[in-house]
Structure 1
Amino acid sequence: MEGLSNLFRGNGYTTINGAQVKNILNDSNIVILDVRNPGEYRNGHIPKAINIPINEIQGRLSEISLYRNSAILVYCASGSRSIKAADFLSRNGFKKIYNLSRGISSYKGTLSKM
């Protein structure tokens, strides 16, 4: 239930679906934040995504703070880690946050691999 309550409580971020993400990615200034683990990231990620695993996000806040005034798209594998990340970013002063509902599985574009 925690995930559902986060979607509806005016949490400071916008939840979008895979179809909507295409429009968001047209913004050349958007920061794409992949909060999955490095192995998941290497297996395929949204192009230009920065990988900061959810368990490192708090310790790397100063690094992410460079993007405080930018639009940020946050995603993970299924949507649960990205909800936590979006909530954390919102509580730390980020204003334009998009959470990809159902994670990377709902993304319909081509994935990059490294």
Structure 2
Amino acid sequence: MNFLIDNWALISVALLSGGMLLWPMLRGGSGGGLNPAAAVQLINRERGVVVDVAEPDEYAAGHVAGARNVPLGQFEKRLPEVVKNKTVPLILVCPTGARAQRALPTAKRLGYEKAQVLAGGLRAWKEANLPVEKA
């Protein structure tokens, strides 16, 4: 107990730094996904394809410009129909990034080795002031 009392400042700094390291994960930011700037580079330089896994009503309310809608519930069946070329980078998007993260293993299993998730989802895209379309 004396250790805690004598070293309260060091313990506080350790807890604070640990919290700062965990904050992006708790916030839904990067889970190893792409940031919006990297996604734009993939789209422009490598002809990356954006696939929005949101439900049709969410997609209609707003989506990344040029994105194709393949709802998560239909993802495994419809992805090969919508994106035939498995060699292009695939950027998975949803409103927050959570559903896109769930779709990633399925895309990889289907042979889309360059599939990645837009970290933070459509929210991060909008925060970066990038173009959004409405259906």
Q: Hey, what's the Cα distance between the residues in 1 that align with 2:70 and 2:132?
A: 17
The 1:90–1:30 alpha-carbon spacing in structure 2 relative to 1, beyond 3 Å, is same
For residue 41 of structure 2, the aligned residue among 17, 23, 29 is 23
Higher relative contact order (CA 8 A, sep 6+): 1
Structure 1 gaps of 5+ residues are: 8-13
Opposite residue 57 of structure 1, the aligned amino acid is: F
Who wins on radius of gyration, i.e. which is larger? Answer: 2
Asked if structure 2 preserves the Cα contact closer than 8 Å seen for 1:54 and 1:81, the reply is yes
2:120 paired with 1:99: no
Q: Hey, what's the Cα distance between the residues in 1 that align with 2:83 and 2:40?
A: 25
For residue 80 of structure 1, the aligned residue among 90, 95, 98 is 98
> How many pairs are equivalent?
103
Opposite residue 19 of structure 1, the aligned amino acid is: A
Q: Hey, what's the Cα distance between the residues in 1 that align with 2:102 and 2:85?
A: 18
What is the identity percentage for the equivalent residue pairs of Structure 1 and Structure 2? 26
Task: With the length of structure 1 as denominator, give the TM-score of the two structures.
Answer: 0.79
Q: Hey, what's the Cα distance between the residues in 1 that align with 2:79 and 2:60?
A: 22
Query: Could you tell me how far 1:104 is from its partner in structure 2?
Result: 0.5
Opposite residue 80 of structure 1, the aligned amino acid is: A
1:36 is matched with which residue? Answer: 54
1:46 is matched with which residue? Answer: 64
Task: With the length of structure 2 as denominator, give the TM-score of the two structures.
Answer: 0.68
RMSD: 1.8
Runs of 4+ aligned residues of structure 1 deviating over 6 Å after TM superposition are: none
The 1:33–1:61 alpha-carbon spacing in structure 2 relative to 1, beyond 3 Å, is closer
Opposite residue 134 of structure 2, the aligned amino acid is: K
Q: Hey, what's the Cα distance between the residues in 1 that align with 2:83 and 2:36?
A: 26
